[in-house]
A = this chain, B = another copy of it.
Amino acid sequence: MMSVEEAQSRILAHVPPRKTPELISLMDALGRIVAAPIACHEDIPGFTNSSMDGYAVHAADLAKASRENPVSLEVRGVIAAGHPLSRPLQSGEAYKIMTGAPLPPGADAVIQVEWTTTPAPGRMSAWAPVSPGQNVRQAGQDMRAGQKILEPGTVLSPPLIGILASLGMDHVPVMPKPHVAIVSTGDELVPPGQPLGPGQIRNSNSYALAAAITAAGGKPWLLPPARDTKEAIASRLAEAQTADIILSSGGVSVGDFDWVKQVLEEEGQLELWRVNMKPGKPLAFGMLHGRPFFGLPGNPVSALVTFELFVRPMIRTWLADANWRRLTLALPLFEPFTEIQDRWHYVRSRLVTEHGQLWVHPYAQQDSAVQSSWIGADALMIVPPDTGPYKAGEIMTVMLLRSGF
C-alpha cells in the first residue's frame, strides 16, 4: 500500500494552474493569500520623527547635562503629530515634541519629558544628556522605498493588513478561492433537518467537509448526495465539473455498490487508491473531467483525516501558501497508548497542560465511525505502523490542527 508521504507528493503533482488574482478591500483580506509581490513605494516612516513625548534638541547642547548641572534651553514652540515645522532648530533652542511628530530641521535627538523640568515659561531644563539619534525614528527605518515587503503566498494576518495600510494600499491582490465541490454518496443519507427512516443516517460529511474547505481557504459547493448507482454517481460528478476540485465521500471501498473508483477509472484517470493509514485507507485520487478528484472514504472520521492530509495540502498549495504544513510538536504521552495498528495511525488527541508541561492525550475510542471523539480534539498524534504499546511519558509526534491568528 502507498505511504502517506508518497500519496501526498503524487497528489501535489496535480495542483491545477492558478487563476487570475482578484483585488479585494483590506477589510475583507483577513486570511487571504497575497497573489503578487508587494513593494514599498516610499520610505516608511516618510519623515524622521520622535518616538517619545519630549523635546527635540541638538544632542550637543545637552552633552554636559547632569542632575547637578541641568542644561536649560529656550522652548520655541510645540510640534504635534501631523504638524511639521519648516523653521530649523538653532543651538540653544528646543521644541516640545509629541510622539510621532516630525523632527524640526537641524534637531538630531529627543529628550523624553520625564528627564526634564520647566523652570520658567518658555524654557526647559534637562538633567541628563542624550546621544545623537536617541528617541528618534529615522525616515525609512521601518520600510524603504523600493524594498520588497510581502512575497506572493503570504497569508494576511492582522499585522500584515496593518502593513498594507501603511503602504497606502486599501486593496490587495489575492489568490481567488478555489471552488471545491462535495458529492456525498449513499442510499442511507438524509439531510440533517429531516427525520430518519429505518437504516438511514444523516449526511454529516457534506457539512463537515464544507467547513473544512472554508477553513482551508476554499469555497465549498454542496451538491445533493448521489444514490449508490454507477449512473447516479457518474452524473452527479459530471455536474460538479465546473468546480476547481471535486470531492466525493463514500462508495470507494470494496463493497458491491462502491462505484466511485470505477467511475473515476472509466471517465478519468485513477492516480492512486488506498493509502497505508488509519483511518482513511480507501482513498482514491485522480483526474476527473480535467479536475483533481478525491474519492474520500465515507466514515466521517476517515473523510476528515484524509481531507486534512491530502485535500487541505492541495488547496493550500494551489493558493501558493509556502508554509502550509501544520505545526508538528514532540510531546510526551499523558497516559499509555496501547493500540497497535499495521498502518500509520492518526489518533484524535487533545493537548493538556499539567505539571507545568504540555502533554498529548489521545482519546480511547478511535473507531473511524465514532465522531464524538473529535470533541475537544485539537491535534492528531501520528503513530508509526506496528509500534507500541507506548507508555505514559514517551515522546510522540503530534500534528496541531491550528492555523489561524
Contacts and interface: CB of A to CB of B under 8 A. Distances in A.
B201 A158 contact: no
A257 B205 contact: no
Copies of this chain, whole number:
2
A329 interface: yes
Interface in A362-405: 367, 369-372, 374-375, 377, 400-405
Interface in A268-318: 298-301, 304
A187 B99 CA distance: 12
Interface in A1-52: 26-27, 29-31, 42, 44-47, 49, 51
A92 interface: no
Contacts of A156: 211
A208 B165 contact: yes
Given A162-B304, A402-B402, A374 B196 contact: no
Interface stretch (A58-66, A119-127, A166-174): A166-174
A150 B374 CA distance: 11
A397 to B, nearest CB: 11
Interface residues of A, number: 111
A99 B374 contact: no
A196 to B, nearest CB: 6
B207 A102 contact: no
B168 A46 contact: no
A159 interface: yes
Given A100-B298, A163-B375, A209-B158, A82 B367 contact: no
Nearest to A222: B27
Of the listed residues A186, A222, A369, the one surrounded by the most CB atoms of chain B closer than 10 A to its CB is A369
A193 B215 contact: no
Would you list the 4 A-B pairs with minimal beta carbon distance, nearest first?
A404-B404, A162-B208, A82-B188, A82-B187
